[in-house]
Amino acid sequence: MDVLQLLTDIDLVIFDLGGVLYNIDFERTRTALAALPGYNGADITFGVDVQDDTFLRVDRGEMSDEAFYQQLRDRFGFTCSDADIEAAWCAILIGPFADAADWVASIRAQRPVVLLSNISYPHLRHALPLMQPILQHVERAFYSCEIGLRKPDPHAFLHVTSAMGADPARTLLVDDSSANCAAAKGLGMRVWQVTREA
């Protein structure tokens, strides 16, 4: 089945970004952080469905970049510069999938499309230059660091549907996270869970 077949009775399509339209690899950031000078060996919990609270907070825009990097120093012992930590933090970013813009355009030809991404300000700054071919096909982009809400919090989905004047029951989520898909289903949304190979 193709996602286009799910558009009957759908008024809005919400696309996730990382893992769906933009290729990311959590292991690259875990490895890069663990390689920084001073690393104390503490567990770096950073994945698609489970993350350390510090990573959740930076995704919600609750701290400045500088405060985030200092928290990482305090937690993991890093002795390097903010720039070094940011480079390791952004190692997750690979680039848009080759078919991403065309895929979004094909959906946008039939229904309004928006993005809803769990993303920190540093990741957003690094990813945006490569996202323009995708963004030209979406009506709005909702980033967790800007709206202060992060999936799978149901309020994140409701923020988007409210802003777009859409009924959750007539909204389709395209996402790779099981937790996000479950939360969306709990609101009566339709879901298409994506499995991508890098």
What's the burial of 3, exposed, middle or buried (CB within 10 Å: 0-12/13-18/19+)? middle
- pLDDT attached to residue 197: 61
Residue type present at position 159: H
pLDDT (mean) for 75-97: 97
**How far, in Å, CA of 184 to CA of 156, rounded?**
10
pLDDT (mean) for 3-25: 92
From residue 101, give the alpha-carbon distance in Å to each of 35, 136, 176, 195. Answer: 34, 8, 17, 17
Residue with tokens 């323009």: 132
Report the mean per-residue pLDDT for the chain: 94
pLDDT at 192 over 90: yes
Tokens of 57: 């907070």
Could you tell me whether strands 93-96 and 140-143 are parallel, antiparallel, or unpaired per DSSP bridges? unpaired
Whether the predicted model's global pTM rises above the 0.85 cut: yes
pLDDT (mean) for 126-148: 97
- pLDDT attached to residue 48: 72
pLDDT (mean) for 123-128: 97
Question: Closest by alpha carbon to 21, among 181, 194, 139?
Answer: 194
Query: What proportion of the chain, given as a percentage, has pLDDT over 70?
Result: 98
Sign of CA dihedral 160, 118, 9, 109: positive
Tokens of 49: 């469905």
pLDDT (mean) for 152-159: 98
pLDDT band at 198 (very low <50, low <70, confident <90, very high): very low
Q: What are phi and psi of 18, to 5 degrees?
A: -65, 125
